[in-house]
Amino acid sequence: MRVMTLISKKIEAVQGDITTLEIDAIVNAANTSLLGGGGVDGAIHRAAGPELLRECRTLGGCPTGEAKITKAYKLPSRYVVHTAGPVWRGGKKEEDTLLKNCYLNSLSLCQQNKIKTIAFPGISTGVYRFPKERAAQIAVTTVSGFLKNNTFPKKVIFVCFSDQDLLIYQKTRNYSGNHG
Ligand code: AR6
């Protein structure tokens, strides 16, 4: 972790590799099969080892916008929350709502499993081409709202793979004006 930005008391953004975080849960930007892929999904499966895929095979996939939880095996986190983000198709195919659901359903698993700390990558902002600023705005707004009304998680970290992605979250903090 090189750079950290506080978005609110319970939300921070960092630049780094999500697979290195010693935290209760990390979120995987998966696909509906839950059987692995490229990007952050590939990195998580590589770092967790083959047992993660074995558990994922038992889950029967994950519809877009929903989330499922597994153990984290060789990763330094305790759990992996797998969510399937929407593919960006121009913005009129409910992409915003589906992305919001990814965050809400992942956070609900924290409430259910009493998970205190969770880290999100920029779901859908890689291969799935969701515009990054728009995605960050949805992520910050949705997480802020959830934290106000629930006891878990206690802390949320947005993990940005590049410095440029971190800059987007820093700007989002300024726009949202949320410091609660
Ligand atoms: N740590 C943090 N962020 C990362 C890392 C990492 N190690 N690696 C990539 N990112 P993507 P998607 C960022 O493409 O758009 C897979 O094949 C990356 O820079 O991983 O939801 C799945 O199986 C980007 O900002 O996920 C699906 O088929 C963000 O993570 C599909 O890709 C998400 O990029 C999902 O596409």
Is the beta carbon of 18 within 6 A of some atom in ligand 1? yes
Q: For a substitution probing ligand 1, which of 64, 127, 129 has the most ligand atoms within 8 Å of its CB? A: 127
| Pairing state between β 155-160 and 11-15 | parallel
How much is the average pLDDT of 113-141?
A: 98
Structural domain contains residue 180: no
Residue 41 catalytic? Answer: yes
How much is the average pLDDT of 47-51?
A: 98
User: Distance between CA 164 and CA 75 in Å, rounded?
Assistant: 26
Q: At 145, which CATH number?
A: 3.40.220.10
- Domain holding 144, by residue range, is 4-175
Token pair recorded at residue 56: 């994922």
What's the pLDDT score for residue 155?
98
The pLDDT tens digits for 83-108 are 999 999 999 999 999 999 999 999 99
Task: Render 110-138 in DSSP notation, one character per residue.
Answer: HHHHT--EEEE--TTSSTT---HHHHHHH
Residue keyed to tokens 């995605």: 135
Number of folded domains that form the chain: 1
What's the pLDDT score for residue 174?
61
CA of 25 to the centre of ligand 1 (A): 16
Structural domain contains residue 131: yes
Structural domain contains residue 15: yes
What's the pLDDT score for residue 179?
47
% of the chain exceeding 90 in pLDDT = 92
